[in-house]
Amino acid sequence: MRVTQGTFCYLPDLTDEQIRKQLQYAINNGWALSVEYTDDPHPRNSYWEMWGLPLFDVKDPATVMFEVQECRKQYPNYYIKVLAFNSTKGIESTALSFIVNRPVHEPGFVLKRIESNDRVQRYTVHSYATEKPEGSRY
């Protein structure tokens, strides 16, 4: 099972050089960059832990790559992603988001069916990772 979230999620993992080029693209567009990490990549878990502070007005992708490398050292078996925030009036939203690190083993998810009243079928997604306590999932 491979978690597919963000841009480039169906492609092979990006190399550091490819990541650097995407960071340069975001910088050229004037977007603020940040690094986030989690051990629970549930699709509805949109609030990952932020690594440090957002990087505003960065001119060199090496600054962001340094933060990515430091986060990888601290959390080698976590999901790590880079976000680029477009603060243009009227947009004010994430313009680019992609995973830059993932655990070697991704446990995946199970789709659970729940019987409800009047034969209604409801579905929910359960992450296998959450069966272990936070911090020891990978």
pLDDT at 137: 62
pLDDT at 110: 77
Report how far residue 86's alpha carbon sits from residue 74's, in angstroms, rounded to the nearest whole number: 28
pLDDT at 117: 85
pLDDT at 97: 93
pLDDT at 101: 94
Whether 137 is covered by a domain: the verdict is: no
pLDDT at 53: 92
Query: Tens of pLDDT along 14-71?
Result: 999 999 999 999 999 999 999 999 988 877 778 899 999 999 999 999 999 999 999 9
Confidence of residue 11 (pLDDT cuts 50, 70, 90): confident
Whether 129 is covered by a domain: the verdict is: no
φ, ψ of residue 58 to 5 degrees: the values are -75, 135
Whether 120 is covered by a domain: the verdict is: no
Residue 1 has pLDDT above 70, yes or no: no
Report how far residue 23's alpha carbon sits from residue 57's, in angstroms, rounded to the nearest whole number: 12
Whether 77 is covered by a domain: the verdict is: yes
| pTM for this prediction | 0.80
Report how far residue 92's alpha carbon sits from residue 110's, in angstroms, rounded to the nearest whole number: 34
Whether 128 is covered by a domain: the verdict is: no
**The pair of three-digit structure tokens given for residue 135, joined into one six-digit string:** 């911090």
CATH number of the domain at 49, please. 3.30.190.10
Do 125 and 26 form a contact (C-beta atoms < 8 A)?
no
Query: Tens of pLDDT along 70-125?
Result: 999 999 999 999 999 998 888 888 999 999 999 887 777 777 888 888 888 888 87
Whether 131 is covered by a domain: the verdict is: no
Domain around 37: 16-105
Whether 113 is covered by a domain: the verdict is: no
77-92 in b/e form (b: 16+ CB < 10 A) is ebbbbbbbbbeeeeee
Radius of gyration, alpha carbons of the chain: 17
Query: Which one is predicted more confidently, 108 or 11?
Result: 11
Question: Which amino acid appears at position 69 of this protein?
Answer: Q
Count of the separate structural domains present in the chain: 1
Whether 69 is covered by a domain: the verdict is: yes
